[in-house]
A and B are shown apart, each in its own frame.
Chain A
């Protein structure tokens, strides 16, 4: 028995059995070789519910090793309940070192945000993905979307974008706005705010995406061209609250809007808690 098996309290290191890890690892490698293409994989039933990060958890579990330092964020924060729960899961089943500091982390699992601090070469960012198919609101049938991806036919998405602009003067999606990867595949960036989309472009880190319930894995290698779907005369314009952070004063970070009283009072604070903490020093 591997020493790692005993350490994890009866379960294999990082919970998944080795055959499952191999299957996921093969999918990750093919994902990197075909940037933005969704690889079907035999997602397992995890001890956390589908839709709560099981895809990200399976990817992280297949990547993680004893030399890693793991950071888990949800909505940009380390102390949101689901982030706490997932971090505890990995501490329990992998005995892995954890951190809340973006700069120290080697593997970061995230839901709905990309950290503000630019990621570096030694880092892997693992996204939890609820709906990997960027076309699902336009075409719910998987057999059909698979065909459209094969043809590189994204006219449905472009048409929707055109209609939004014609009707309301701007794109309809403020988060989970689809991106083109390396000029070939339309990809869901997961429900990150549009503000984070540009961080996908030529990132120094490896970006991995796991969708457990939908049983798909995809990836973006470092330095890959990633562009938000838009038109030349209507470039993609991410939304950002204009107010500075009430804690650190930052104007260019993504904010949470907090309702502070029932008379319309509002406070804006950084969504990325580590970034805010660093700014306050």
Chain B
């Protein structure tokens, strides 16, 4: 199997900085340097996030097939578990209900799953109006490929804060994040 990152130390650092910016500024679209030799089912951005954040200490779940699971097992050494036990989840097909994932407890909300979700397109500057920590006035993001009613169900789940899941939305080499604090207004 081919190496993932060209430089495992510095590429992971660069990808983490992009991930940190994404999580700190919800809806801002980030770009990564794509890793090499990734399975067909994975977007480069999703693969880079996996290589950067997932390892033997982070059980994961994915809806992707054998090739992707094997790739994650080889490169990250992470054990495959049911979605309710996963620290990280990689969703390549339709997004299942977020209630499938763990949301942590009020004492340990950090145990909520980080869901890496692959989508068709991320278009900044239009679409959703995002509000909350990390956002000066508003961020705009159009997301193609989420189930109908996602924004409404996301908003309903925010009542559970500090419990919740955090999302990375990936499309090709680009990604953005939706931490559990973000408010989504569909028409604004």
Contact = CB atoms under 8 A, between A and B. Distances in A.
Contacts of B9: 2, 4-5, 12-13, 18
Interface string B144-182: 000000000000000001101010000000000001110
A56 to B, nearest CB: 16
Contacts of A251: none
Given A13-B10, A33-B180, A25 B161 contact: no
B52 interface: yes
Q: Which of B105, B133, B134 has the most CB of A within 10 A?
A: B133
Nearest to B109: A34
B53 A26 contact: yes
Contacts of A65: 10, 13-14, 17
Contacts of A222: 24-25, 133-134, 136
Contact of B24 (A5, A25, A150, A206): A206
Contacts of B14: 65
Q: Which of A32, A124, A185, A225 has the most CB of B within 10 A?
A: A32
Interface string A221-240: 11111000000000000000
Interface residues of A, number: 48
Interface in A137-166: 146-147, 149-151
Given A182-B133, A184-B161, A146 B107 contact: yes
B134 A37 contact: no
B41 interface: no
A4 B24 contact: no
A150 B110 contact: no
A23 B136 contact: no
A3 interface: yes
Contacts of B110: 27, 30-31, 34, 37, 39
A64 B180 contact: no
A270 B166 CA distance: 42
A223 B10 contact: no
Interface in A85-138: 124
B148 to A, nearest CB: 25
Interface residues of B, number: 40
B94 interface: no
Interface in B1-20: 7-10, 12-14, 16-17, 19-20
Contacts of B24: 32, 206, 219, 221-222
B58 interface: yes
B166 A63 contact: no
A190 interface: no
A29 interface: yes
Nearest to B51: A22
Nearest to A8: B9
Given A19-B55, A182-B181, A224-B133, A37 B20 contact: no
A29 B10 contact: no
Contacts of B16: 21, 25, 62-63
Nearest to A25: B16
A35 B133 contact: yes
B66 interface: no
A185 B110 CA distance: 14
A2 B164 CA distance: 36
A33 B135 contact: no
A2 B13 contact: no
Contact of A221 (B7, B133, B166): B133
B106 interface: yes
Contact of B162 (A37, A64, A66): A37
14 contacts: A2-B7, A25-B16, A30-B110, A33-B164, A33-B179, A34-B179, A66-B10, A149-B107, A150-B107, A185-B162, A202-B136, A206-B24, A219-B24, A221-B181
Given A13-B10, A124-B20, A221-B24, 8 more contacts: A21-B13, A30-B112, A33-B166, A65-B17, A66-B10, A182-B181, A223-B133, A225-B133
